[in-house]
Structure 1
Amino acid sequence: MRIVDVNEFYSPTGGGVRSYLDRKMAIMSELGHQQIVIAPGREERVEERPGGARIHFVKSPGIPFDSNYGLFWDAAPIHALLDHYQPDVVENVAPWRSAAIVADWKGHALRSWFMHNDNLETYPKRWFGRVASEATIERMFGWYDRYMAGWLERFDTVVTNGPVLTERLRARGLRIDATMTLGIEREHFSPTLRSPALRAAMLEQCGLPEDAYLLIGVGRHHPEKRWPMVIDAARRAGTRLPVGLVLLGLGPDTRTLERHIAESPHVRMFHPIYHRGQLASIMASADAFIHGCSNETFGLVASEALASGLPLIVPDRGGAAAVAQPAFAELYRHGDAYDCARAIVALASRDQSLVRRAAGIAAPKVWSDREHAQSLVAHYQALIDARGAVSRSA
C-alpha cells in the first residue's frame, strides 16, 4: 500500500506530528508499505528515507506567528505530485488549505482525514476558559464545527488519534468513522531501567537528599503545557514534604519559565533529551511523572512514562487522563495549582511499592506505534476492498 500524507503540520523543527510521521515512515517500510509525506518547505526538495519512504517539501509561505511551520497555497504542484505518486490512500490532517487541495484532487485514491488535534480545544477554550463556560465558547465558535463538518463530508473516512479526541468531536456533532489510538516506541521504555544512582544525582541537582520525592515533567515550553502551574504546585507540595521537580524541554516560554523558577532551589530545567535510551532511563529513575496540559488529545509522554513504570500526576481531562488509572495515578482539576499540589502529596503519601508495582504491571500493555500502524493499514485496506466490491457489483 502506498500512502501519501499531505501534511501542513510536518516540519523538520516541529513537534509531535513530525515525531509520529518519522516513526510511521520507518514502520510502514518494515511492514512492506510506502509512506510519503508532502509538506510545506522553504525550498523545493526531496528527503529520502530507507525503505522507499520520503518527504517531498513543496516551497510554500511560512506562518507569520510560528516560523517552524508553513502553509500550502497553490494546489497545482500538490496535485501534480499526487498524480505522479498515484497513492492508494491520500491523507490530510489540517483544516486549512490542504483540506481543499486533497478534496479537490481528481484522483481515485481513498481520502482519509486523520485528526491529530482539536483547534477549538487548543485555542478558544484555552484563551477564554477563565471568562466563559465551555458551552458558551462552543456556541461562539460554532462556525468552526460547521466549517469542519462541510469538509469532512468530502472524505471517505475520518479517523482520530485516540478515544479522547473521538469523544470530544462526536459530542459536538462531527463525524468520526474510526479511532486509531497512537502508540509509542515501547521497546525503548521499561521499569527495569530505573537507576537509584541516577535518581540520587537528579535529587542532588535539586538540592535534596535521597529520601525526597522526585517529579519529572517532559514537554515543550509553550503556554498550553501550563508549566508555571506545575511549578507552583510543586512549590506548594514542597511545604508538606521535600519535592524535587526536573523539567525537560525548550520552547517559546523558556525564558519566562527560567524567571519563574529563579527563587525555586528544588526545581531544575534541562534541555530536551533526544536519545531515547537516555530519556527512558531518566524517566524510569524518577518517582512520578507530572503533566499540566489538558488540551492534548493523546497522552504520548504520559504513555512513555507509564511504559517506564512511573506513577502519574495528570489533569482530569485530555490525553494524559485517558492513560491514568486509580491504582497508579492521581488526577487533579485541570489548571488548578492548588489541586495539583494536593495530588502530588496524595500520590507521595501512598505505599510507593504498591503504586510502582501497579504501574509496572500496566507498563507492557501500553499500545505500541507498530500496533497503531497495523490497525490503520487494516482499516484502509477494508475500505479499499469494500469499494472494490461495490465497483464489481455495479
Structure 2
Amino acid sequence: MRIVQLANFYTPASGGLRTCVDEIGRGYLAAGHERVLVVPGLADADELTPAGRRITVRGLRFGTAGYHVLTARRTRPLLERLRPDVLECSDKLSMRWLAPWARRAGVPLVLFSHERIDAILRTRVPPGFPLITAADLANRRLATRVDRIVVTSDFARAEFARIGADHVSRIPLGVDLDTFRPLDVPATASGPVRLILVSRLSREKHPERAIEALPLLRHGAVDAELTVVGDGPLRDGLGQLAADLPVRFAGHVSDRHAVAAALAAADIALCPSPAETFGLAVLEALACGTPVVVPRAGAAHELLGPPGSGLACDGSPAGLAAAVHTLLALPAETRRGAARHTAERFPWSRTVTEMLRLYADFEPALRSA
C-alpha cells in the first residue's frame, strides 16, 4: 500500500509533529508499505530518509516562525503522479483543497488531528468571542470532508464528540523507548532540585508559569533550578521574567539524544500547557524516568500512571509548585520507576499497528478502485 502523508508546519525545528510523522512513517516502511511524506519548504526537493521518501514542495510563507504551507496549485499535480492508496493529512489547513481532490480521485482521506481548535485559539481571540461556536462550525466542515479522523486522546476527541462526529478513532502516540530512557548511572540526590521544561515558547503553551513557579518553590525552602529547552516568540520576555532566577535557556535542541539526556538528568519535568492534545514531551520525560507535573486541562494528565509518575494540578504557578513539593516527598527510586513503567505502555509499534488496522478497513474499496 502506498501511504502518502501530508504535513504543514514541518521544519527542522519542529517538535512533536515532526517526531510523530517520521516515527509513524518509519513504522509503515518497516511493515512493508511504501511511505511518501509531502511537506512545504523554501525549495523543491526529493530525498530518501530512514523514514521513507520525503518530497518538499516550495510553499507559501506562513506567519513569522519560518513556516511554509502547501498550496493546491503545486501539490495536486504531485499527488496525481504519486497515485496514493491512502492520504494521511496532519493538518486542518489543507482540507479545503485536498478533500475535493481525494474525492474525485477515489482516495481515502484520513485527518490526523494534532491540535484542538478551541484550545489553540483560546489565547488568540478577544473576550466574548464565540469560540465554541466557531470551533464547532469549523469541525463540522472538516468532518464532512474526510473518511476518518484520528485523534490521540479523549481531550482531542471531545471537540468532535461535541458535534456528533461518529467516524473518529482514538489512537495514542508513542515514544522511542531506546532513545528516551533513564540514566545508566542514577543522578545523585545532592545539589538543587533540577526542574526542566521542554516546550515551544508560545502563548498557548504558557511557559511563563514554569518560571513563575520557581520563586514560589525557593521561598518554600526548595532549592530548585530550571532548564528551558525550546525556542519561540516569547523567548525574550521569558528571559526578562527569569532575571535573577536560576533559569538556563538551552534554546532549540535538534539532537534527540541530547534532549533525552537533559530529561533524564532532571528530577521533575514541568509541562504547563493546557492545550496539549497528547503531550509527547510529557511522554518523553516519563520514558527517561522523570516524573511530570501537568495541568488538569488538556490531555497530558491522561498519560499519568502509578503514584509517583506525576501529578495533575490546576496549572497555575502555585499549583505547579505545590505538585513539585508533593512529588519530592516520595523516594527518587519510586518516582523514576513509576515514570518509566508508565511510558512503557506507549511504544510507537502500537501506534503504527492501530493505524494500519484502520487502513485495512479501506482495502476492499482500494481493490475495487
When normalised by structure 2's length, the TM-score is 0.89
- Which amino acid letter does the alignment assign opposite residue 75 of structure 2? I
Q: CA deviation at 1:192?
A: 4.4
Residue 264 (structure 2) pairs with residue 306 (structure 1):
no
Where does structure 1 lack aligned partners over 5 or more consecutive residues? 201-209
Identity %: 23
- Which amino acid letter does the alignment assign opposite residue 275 of structure 1? D
- Give secondary structure in 2 for the equivalent of 1:292: coil
Please, which of 231, 235, 238 is the counterpart of residue 257 of structure 1?
Answer: 238
Distance 1:12 1:281 in 2: 20
**Which structure has the highest helix share of the two?**
1
Aligned to 2:177: 186
- Which amino acid letter does the alignment assign opposite residue 57 of structure 2? V
Distance 2:167 2:30 in 1: 29
Instruction: Output aligned runs, 1:314-353, within 5 Å.
Output: 314-325=294-305, 327-328=307-308, 329-334=310-315, 336-353=316-333
Write the deviation string for residues 295-318 of structure 1: whole angstroms up to 9, x where unpaired.
010110111111111121111122
Question: Contact between 1:61 and 1:70, CA under 8 Å: does it hold in 2?
Answer: yes
Write the deviation string for residues 267-319 of structure 1: whole angstroms up to 9, x where unpaired.
22223443333332332222111111110101101111111111211111223
Question: Contact between 1:195 and 1:281, CA under 8 Å: does it hold in 2?
Answer: no
- After superposition, the Cα gap between the structure-2 partners of 1:19 and 1:115, relative to the gap in structure 1 and judged at 3 Å, is same
Aligned to 2:86: 89
- Which amino acid letter does the alignment assign opposite residue 374 of structure 1? T
- Which amino acid letter does the alignment assign opposite residue 140 of structure 2? A
Distance 1:226 1:168 in 2: 21
- After superposition, the Cα gap between the structure-2 partners of 1:281 and 1:274, relative to the gap in structure 1 and judged at 3 Å, is same
Distance 2:125 2:267 in 1: 34
- Which amino acid letter does the alignment assign opposite residue 79 of structure 1? R
Q: CA deviation at 1:50?
A: 4.4
Instruction: Output aligned runs, 1:350-369, within 5 Å.
Output: 350-365=330-345, 367-369=346-348
Q: CA deviation at 1:90?
A: 1.0
- Give secondary structure in 2 for the equivalent of 1:345: helix
Residue range with higher mean Cα deviation, 85-94 or 9-18: 9-18
- Which amino acid letter does the alignment assign opposite residue 100 of structure 1? W
Aligned to 1:281: 261
Distance 1:20 1:160 in 2: 13
Q: CA deviation at 1:176?
A: 4.3
Write the deviation string for residues 168-219 of structure 1: whole angstroms up to 9, x where unpaired.
43135444421121111122122343542xx68xxxxxxxxx2432211112
Please, which of 126, 135, 141 is the counterpart of residue 150 of structure 1?
Answer: 141
Question: Contact between 2:305 and 2:339, CA under 8 Å: does it hold in 1?
Answer: no
Distance 1:23 1:56 in 2: 17
- After superposition, the Cα gap between the structure-2 partners of 1:143 and 1:218, relative to the gap in structure 1 and judged at 3 Å, is closer
Matched residues, number: 366
Q: CA deviation at 1:89?
A: 0.1
- Which amino acid letter does the alignment assign opposite residue 47 of structure 1? E
Question: Contact between 1:149 and 1:175, CA under 8 Å: does it hold in 2?
Answer: no
- Give secondary structure in 1 for the equivalent of 2:88: strand
Aligned to 1:60: 59
Q: CA deviation at 1:255?
A: 1.7
Residue 365 (structure 2) pairs with residue 374 (structure 1):
no
Aligned to 2:117: 119
- Give secondary structure in 1 for the equivalent of 2:261: helix
- Which amino acid letter does the alignment assign opposite residue 195 of structure 2? L
Aligned to 1:204: none
Residue range with higher mean Cα deviation, 100-109 or 303-312: 100-109
Distance 2:168 2:366 in 1: 19
When normalised by structure 1's length, the TM-score is 0.84
Residue 193 (structure 2) pairs with residue 213 (structure 1):
yes
Residue 91 (structure 2) pairs with residue 71 (structure 1):
no
- Give secondary structure in 2 for the equivalent of 1:84: helix
- After superposition, the Cα gap between the structure-2 partners of 1:128 and 1:41, relative to the gap in structure 1 and judged at 3 Å, is closer
Aligned to 1:27: 27
- Which amino acid letter does the alignment assign opposite residue 61 of structure 2? G
Residue 4 (structure 2) pairs with residue 4 (structure 1):
yes
- Which amino acid letter does the alignment assign opposite residue 316 of structure 1? R
Question: Contact between 1:3 and 1:89, CA under 8 Å: does it hold in 2?
Answer: yes
Question: Contact between 1:92 and 1:99, CA under 8 Å: does it hold in 2?
Answer: no
Where does structure 2 lack aligned partners over 5 or more consecutive residues? none
